[in-house]
Structure 1
Amino acid sequence: MNRQVVSAIALAVAALSAGQVLAQDAAPKTREQVRAELLQAQRNGDIIVNAETGQTARDMFPDLYPQSASVAGKTRDQVKAELAEAIRTGDIVADGETGQKLNEQAPHRYAATAVAQGKTRAEVKAELAEAIRNGDLVANTETGTTYREMFPGRYPAASTLAQGKTREQVKAELAEARRTGDIVADGDSGKKLNELYPNRFRAN
């Protein structure tokens, strides 16, 4: 027991003396330098927010912080312009505890960011219809298998799919498929209408 206590005391003294030696080698920092380092660490997400795991704010909330703290090759003017833009749009972390940005805390103070225009409803519906026709929809979400892969005989081969059809051609093909029941009706089995209801559709 005495040996353990003496070892612990010796270890503590060694650690304290090593810390003092290292502190003497480093130049003392001013209060402003320490504050600047703290603010920089908060901006970059380098502050430890979970003492148990040692995770930094950047580790826990990677979307809220820039990918790299400093980008090599940028001029001072470029950095100042980026900072001015971030201040203008509120894209600066305001709350170090939650990682919220200014534009998230007070969205009414900042203009909404432009969202990239997606596809129209008609375009999405057309893509869905084509995916159904070609068997490109996922049939089994666990394996990612498509209907074409599960039932290759029911869909045209990928290499024979027509490219660049006009709207009229597509509408004519859809009308013909409806008339003949050549449309997948049961997503689970992949059966077409003319297979489920053979009496409703006449064979050509």
Structure 2
Amino acid sequence: MTRTQVSAIAIALGTLLAGQAMAADNGPTTRAQVKAELAEAVRTGNILHHSGQRMNEVYSAAYSSEQNVASKSREQVKQELADAVRTGDIAHYSGQHMNEIYVQG
């Protein structure tokens, strides 16, 4: 066998094995999987910014590294809102609270 034949056989065998290794993948990614991966990337900031960095690196304050866990129930939050509306302890766009702007005499 000549050197050329051995090389040709080695290339053919390598190509065959590489093709089978690629075929062993779990199949194509579904549309739903891609949408879920995109939603997760947007949520965590793992999307590239036009500067070349990731969004969570550029705007680190906007992307928390920890998961937010609700510590109050929906009813507790609604009750706090109702109390704040009643007492005027709600922020006005000027930066003051409503009860500071509209003082009851």
> Which is richer in helix?
2
Higher strand share: 1
Report the TM-score, using the length of structure 1 for normalisation. 0.22
**Higher RCO, Cα 8 Å, sep 6+:** 2
Higher-Rg member (1/2): 1
**TM-score between both structures, scaled by the size of structure 2:** 0.40
